[in-house]
Structure 1
């Protein structure tokens, strides 16, 4: 009898152990850092799709371009969605982070917006134009100013251009470098500002209605500066990340982007 009870107890414990193992589930929460507009708004649509697949998408909003990358590199975030590949590559070089792109989702055209001066034709000598102060976006802004004939950059300078690469400035324009997030707020204090798409949208500006000049959607900039989902190197094939990308590249998300942003945000998938 004692032997029988011992065997029964052993089998019961073994069965409990197996049951416990079977109930062990993967972590179904995906933490993604994003700019408020449009990235977090787009992620809200993806969140609905992911919920149907058993994933909980936790969206953490940021108002800068540094913290979400740091948080992704340290593992506080599973991914982030706010930047383009040239910015990510530059960030890795400057900060020693190891982040990689796993998908390109959309493109936001840069625009030149009016401040004190309401048109490019009215622009006077010595006018002040505000541009982003971070490496790749500064070059992008300068390229757009060059496309309007306002300045000329050194030949073959590419998307590493800074104000030091301005070869000709016939109107002696004052190019004021500022943090990208502050550009829209600075419009009242400058003649013009070249503003990143997400910050323009956040400020209630629409590139097709309010901008005096816009990046050509067929330009090199449009091909280069698609906004991406980034993860820490080594996490590219994580099942949750694959599910996130699948949701973001869904027809439902594409329809949302086209309807809500009317050309201010353009899907690239």
Structure 2
């Protein structure tokens, strides 16, 4: 029934204006559900897709890719990728693309037998991101062109997101961002507003070098016509090489609330940062998985 509800939502008339994200852009909330940290504080591969002030690049050229896969009950798969470069000591520009496909939809008549092949259903975007920092403050912006398709129906739109990340002290970080904010500021059904607070609880040093650190985080997400969602996460970092994150989020959807759990493992090896994550899925629709890699091409 939940899967059918998703399909019904996708078949609604496509009347979105160019200054707004198509309705199917809300499917990206499924991808956000596999983050093991609050979206405003995301710092893994392609963090800029969630907060334009996510992770400023210090490299001449870096490439990051995330692959997302859900259970068969939901039937979503997707990819997010970014190419970025540092243009100054504290400034970064990049290109970001993302695509989500709904798998295994087929045409039928009066029987379950497929007729005429599969039905193409997807939502995708391409965007330009930029960020700059001054002292403890880092600001970012991301302009995205959206495109969606449901069988023969298509729709396009533009969104413009802003993000901020502030290092309040050595241990405290505060961040906030918009996600799919319409340029015309008229319709916000697909827009998310993220805030997050991160605090370094414990750190261990050896000969002046941090060898281990434990970080606590709190994040909140606001959506139009829905209650505020809250989440907490705990991260353990070892010598800036291995990081483990676990999160619990109280989400609201389908007129009910539920707890969603997630965890991620990150490993840095030379020029590469690899990350694997799993969550119980948005609104208990089945597990969601994510694999990401960030590679430094030119230093």
TM-score, normalised with respect to structure 2 = 0.23
Q: Which has the higher helix share?
A: 1
Q: Which has the higher contact order (CA 8 A, sep 6+)?
A: 1
